[in-house]
Structure 1
Amino acid sequence: MLCHSCGESTIFRLHRDLLGDMIRHNYELTECLVHTMTTRVREFAKVETQNEKLMALGKMSAGLAHELNNPASAMARSGKELKKHLSSVPKKFKAVMAMNVSEGEIDKVNDFLHEKLTAPKKPLSLIEKSNLEDDLTDFLEDKGLDEAEDIVGALIDFQIQEEDLEEMYDELGDQNFASTMAWISSQLITEKMVQDIGEAADRISSLISSIKSFSYMDRSQDMQKMDVHEGIQSTVKLLEHKIQKQGHQLDLKLASNLPEIKGMPGELNQVWMNILANGIDALEEKGTIGIRTSFDDENVKIYFTDTGKGIPEEIRSRIFEPFFTTKGIGKGTGLGLDITKKIIDKHEGTIKVTSQPGNTEFRITLPIDNNIE
């Protein structure tokens, strides 16, 4: 036979019915076939495991980009507004400098401003905000302030009441009240914008801290004493956007004084990520993701629950099998729970699942002391 790709060749053809006899009577052939198949399975599993990790990394990266974008955009927006706001300060400062006030009146204004900036604030309901806005607007307009609507927003943010304005008016009089309130509102607006920028920066810092905690990028990956709660909380922080975006609730009940265990934090964080991500995917409508921890003299126990449709009984025993998945093509490799099981086994722990519609629970038990080096 002539092969166009490699020249003249000789091909040995054997009917498949004879393959069984060859395997039974030729040990070397059997060994070769088993070795070849085992190698291919191992290579395939390695590639699929890598794909699973890349898919998880992709999901986490997409969520992280979304989470970082929100505070970054808020900082940029507040920065532009602050720059625009500061351009109007010289005009208000000029009006204040033209005022004829005593040192005592200046001290009164400074004390008032400091008190409102530092006083603790309780959240106001929409009705309370609306009522306060009406009261402040009516009072300022009665006193002849043309920019009452612009000033009121800043006063509400710091929960300044009508009686505060009345006291300020009685102290300063009609002539100086308008200029003073314009100056006070300017300071409050500046303070609010600085607070917004600070909160956005703190959010970014918190997310980066969660990533470092989740990945243990700046710490050893070896077996060590570790806090289970730290890993769970950093994982929740990374998935929080997904939970909130889909309208789900998070029920977090972490036991106080949970003992440290001996483990590999980076690998256990992958366990928390796999189970939480699966739980979120299982919620087709608005539902609840629950995480609870407890412990006894020998073990730490972690419970992950979701109110999704549940895992059918006929496939429940197969969910930890490699490559078994109920997700559509391209949405899962079927290795997430297989990897999870192997990590738990490596830590000499156990993982069990119970499920019915509306209540699925993964129960993980990890020994406080083990013999792993």
Structure 2
Amino acid sequence: MEKTTSDQLLNFTQADNPDNQSKAGGSLEDNFKTLTDTLPIGIILTSVKGEIINVNPEGLNILGHSSVEDLSGTPIQSFYYNKEDRDIFLKKIDTGRVRDLEVRFQKCDGSAIWCSMSSVIQENSPRGRYFITSLLDITRRKEMEEEKSDLLIQLTQTDKLASIGQLAAGIAHEINNPVGYVTSNLNSLEEYLSDIRKLIELDQTLIKGLGDISLPEKLKKMTEAAHEYAREIDIDFLQEDMDELIKDCIDGLERIKKIVIDLKDFAHPGKKDIETVDINAGIETTLNVAANELKYKTTVHKDLGNLPLIKGIPQQLNQVFLNILVNAAQAIEEKGEIRIKTWQKNNNVFLTISDTGCGIDPQNISKIFDPFFTTKEVGKGTGLGMNIAYNIIQQHGGTITVKSEINKGTTFTVKLPVPEDTK
């Protein structure tokens, strides 16, 4: 259909040329009506300034009008939903042709539609220079693209939540450990304080006894009892150990705080602002979040170089690191190693994450970043993890590649650019 329409328009423009009038027959308006009345796309003739000369029935339908007379005195630029799109059109038409420019138009009832616009310039016409423009309503296609985009966002979020859900038990375990020893220490501290309170009671009794000078022997026994109990409970040790216990409590609470903050930063769904990113810090945060997933069957070796800051969205980059690390851990059946290395070369920073897992079948290497591709059992993966990682790195102007050998392991390499203002 598109080729036929182009051929028809070519014949139409030839007919409009004065040299071809006798052969083609008819005026501009007659030729326009004959050609365009039955076309399923909108055709509009406009002057260079935007005056609407003629419109076919489908064009009227797209613009929301019933006749060409309704458009008298209304320039085509008044239908642009975004006025700057008219400038884009004029800039492109200077080359002599516009192809498939996607533009939003506003109909007479105020509703907006998406159109694919193509246009050519017609010269040497009795009317002077004018534009022949085709409009194809692509509103439904754009809606489907938006629905597809929304679906991908939902699937992306689902995959992210699946990753978090998979780690949730581990996070709970990581939190319970420090909570456990903080509770134990507080119980010991409570027992110590009970002894100290008893000693204080004895001291108070002694002080009261000092007022009774008529009973020096009794006072002497009370003083001896107080000193004996202080030796029995080793008051010096208690005081020293209480300091250590309090320090342990503070350290435990700080660890809880760090885990929660890292998890919150990692999973924050709405933060999308570009900021300076410390890749090494992001790796440390992700390792902290993924600790329970990794520590029981992997030993993590880090070789983190001195890196400049880059520009990006840290939560998204941390998602990439997590997806790779979790995949690496799942590729290791019993015990293995994960090696993380970062370095700078020229105007890029590099990150490799290598594992000693089962490796990837060569026939699957080319599919590893495809959406919905997974080698996991049904119900154990959405197949979006590495596709999400690929898209995030692409959006950050970088690349991600993979090399693997069966039964030897896999290495993912990420390259990200260093912006000029952070070098």
TM range (shorter): 0.5 to 0.7
Greater helix content: 1
Structure 1 position 210, deviation (Å): 2.0
Equivalents in 2 of 1:216, 1:370: separation in Å? 28
Q: Check 1:213–1:315 CA distance in 2 against 1; reply closer, same or farther (3 A cut).
A: same
1:249-286 deviation digits (Å, cap 9, x = unpaired)? 11011102x11112121211111111111111111111
Of 234, 248, 255, the residue aligned with 1:203 is 255
Of 230, 239, 243, the residue aligned with 2:281 is 230
Larger radius of gyration: 2
Equivalents in 2 of 1:36, 1:369: separation in Å? 36
Q: Which residue identity is paired with 2:409?
A: N
Equivalents in 1 of 2:198, 2:399: separation in Å? 70
Q: Check 1:93–1:43 CA distance in 2 against 1; reply closer, same or farther (3 A cut).
A: closer
Task: Report the counterpart of residue 304 of structure 1 in structure 2.
Answer: 353
Task: Report the counterpart of residue 247 of structure 1 in structure 2.
Answer: 297
Q: Give TM-score, length-normalised by structure 1.
A: 0.62
Q: Which residue identity is paired with 1:208?
A: V
Equivalents in 1 of 2:260, 2:149: separation in Å? 36
**Ranges in structure 2 where 5+ consecutive residues have no aligned partner:** 1-39, 42-137, 207-226
| Equivalences, count | 265
**Ranges in structure 1 where 5+ consecutive residues have no aligned partner:** 1-26, 100-174
SS at match of 2:394: helix
Using the aligned pairs only, state the percent identity.
34
Q: Check 1:50–1:220 CA distance in 2 against 1; reply closer, same or farther (3 A cut).
A: closer
| Aligned pairs for 1:1-373 within 5 A | 45-91=152-198, 179=231, 182-215=234-267, 221-244=272-295, 246-256=296-306, 258-356=307-405, 357-369=407-419
Equivalents in 2 of 1:351, 1:304: separation in Å? 11
Equivalents in 1 of 2:271, 2:253: separation in Å? 28
Q: Check 1:68–1:225 CA distance in 2 against 1; reply closer, same or farther (3 A cut).
A: same
Alignment root-mean-square deviation, CA: 3.5
Q: Check 1:201–1:74 CA distance in 2 against 1; reply closer, same or farther (3 A cut).
A: same
Q: Is the 8 A contact 2:199 2:229 kept in 1?
A: no
Structure 1 position 301, deviation (Å): 0.2
Q: Give TM-score, length-normalised by structure 2.
A: 0.55
Structure 1 position 355, deviation (Å): 0.8
Greater strand content: 2
- Compare relative contact order (CA 8 Å, sep 6+) and give the higher one, 1 or 2: 1
Equivalents in 1 of 2:230, 2:390: separation in Å? 70
Equivalents in 2 of 1:38, 1:213: separation in Å? 30
Equivalents in 2 of 1:230, 1:336: separation in Å? 22
Q: Is the 8 A contact 1:253 1:292 kept in 2?
A: yes
Equivalents in 2 of 1:332, 1:295: separation in Å? 33
Q: Is the 8 A contact 1:213 1:231 kept in 2?
A: no
Task: Report the counterpart of residue 106 of structure 1 in structure 2.
Answer: none
Equivalents in 2 of 1:290, 1:210: separation in Å? 21
